[in-house]
A = this chain, B = another copy of it.
């Protein structure tokens, strides 16, 4: 169905306690800050957050973590210079962590969106992150079997949307947005502007509207 245009608070009301929430962004680029703030205000808890990082400084994801709403983080790089909120919770045993190599993280979400049941990845073979996983030699090379990561909700940031939900992004802020949009039951995109249908060139649309359920203009 065509995307619905909403306020942030109304949009994130789709998130329920215990949900898996995919959160776009690589550092601050593409981070859906206003949606995360709305999610904090919304109050849903016991969340699993799938995102490249585990929050920076005291805002955004870090604030969500600090508010005690997150049971588990699935990410590639939790530890950063300013990831003290996550670091503290992790060392106190108050949060679970699944570290996934960044490419496997992206590909596992892509698989969820693309209806792939599982795939053999060469990434991580022979490393601690492949321990306990099935492996298989194909054409002389070893691969690890990786399974899809699905979201109940995806929170992403794009640049411009049309009223149907077609999205374009800006520079490296594109990052996880297009992949996460395909991998969640409900995708919520915050955008800088919403234009009329027909104003985006069909050749340049990165995320087709079929993947976008709710639009928030910030």
Binary contact readout A141-153 vs B (1 if CB under 8 angstroms, 0 otherwise): 1010001000000
A121, CB-defined interface residue at 8 Å: yes
In the complex, chain A residues 98-120 whose Cβ is within 8 Å of any chain B Cβ: 107, 111, 114-120
**A204 lies within 8 A of chain B by Cβ:** yes
Closest residue to A115 on the B side, CB-wise? B122
Q: Which residues of B contact A107 (CB under 8 A)?
A: 114, 116
Residues of A in contact with B, size category: 20 to 34
In whole angstroms, what is the CA distance A168 to B201 when docked? 13
Q: Which residues of B contact A168 (CB under 8 A)?
A: 203
A→B interface (CB under 8 Å): 107, 111, 114-122, 136, 138-139, 141, 143, 147, 168-171, 201-204
The 5 closest A-B pairs by CB, nearest first: A117-B120, A117-B143, A117-B138, A119-B119, A204-B204
26 A-B Cβ contacts within 8 A?
A: A107-B116, A111-B119, A115-B121, A115-B122, A116-B119, A116-B120, A116-B121, A117-B120, A117-B121, A117-B122, A117-B136, A117-B138, A117-B139, A117-B141, A117-B143, A118-B119, A118-B120, A118-B138, A138-B147, A168-B203, A169-B203, A171-B202, A171-B203, A201-B204, A203-B204, A204-B204
